């Protein structure tokens, strides 16, 4: 029998092939992210800690897709896209129509993805902070 980690990995990997369809296709990726943002805004109260983690994944994918952030592998972006695809899918491990439980598996996959990609996520956070400071520099 699978443990929690293996079940989350299996669920996330189901969407990896579909995620490849978004790699290096900014317009298609933007549409996906807009769907994720809409669903996240509708379910914000139910997402708990996953809300901020989801925002971070979306920001990282956007930055990569626009060509602003390049310090990331295709495998990492595919993992992030897979998590987003899982999140927007109405039919997954626990279908979204099951009130109260349907969003819990989505939150678990998002949390698992952030944990799995710890180093890459931390590097993105540093880049994001540095790029924000650079934009605010009055001497540029």
Answer whether 0.85 is exceeded by the pTM: no
Across the chain, mean pLDDT equals 81
Which helix (H) or strand (E) element contains residue 55?
Answer: helix 50-66
What is the arithmetic mean of pLDDT over 61-79? 93
Confidence check: pLDDT of 1 > 50:
no
Higher pLDDT, 133 or 52: 52
Residues 74-114 have pLDDT tens digits of: 999 999 999 999 888 876 555 554 555 556 777 888 888 88
Give the CA angle between residues 9, 46, 114 to the nearest 5°.
35
Give the pLDDT score at 36.
93
SS (H, E, C) 13-36: HCCHHHHHCCCCCHHHHHHHHHHH
């Amino acid at each position: 029998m699978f443990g929690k980690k293996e079940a989350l990995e299996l669920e996330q990997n189901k969407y990896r092939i579909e995620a490849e369809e978004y790699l290096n296709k900014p317009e298609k990726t933007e549409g996906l992210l807009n769907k994720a943002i809409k669903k996240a805004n509708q379910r914000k109260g139910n997402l708990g800690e996953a809300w901020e983690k989801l925002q971070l994944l979306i920001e990282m994918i956007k930055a990569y897709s626009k060509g602003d952030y390049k310090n990331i592998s295709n495998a990492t972006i595919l993992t992030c896209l897979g998590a987003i695809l899982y999140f927007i899918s109405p039919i997954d491990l626990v279908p979204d129509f099951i009130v109260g439980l349907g969003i819990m598996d989505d939150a678990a996959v998002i949390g698992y993805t952030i944990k799995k990609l710890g180093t890459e996520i931390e590097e993105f956070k540093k880049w994001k902070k540095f790029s924000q400071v650079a934009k605010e520099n009055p001497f540029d």
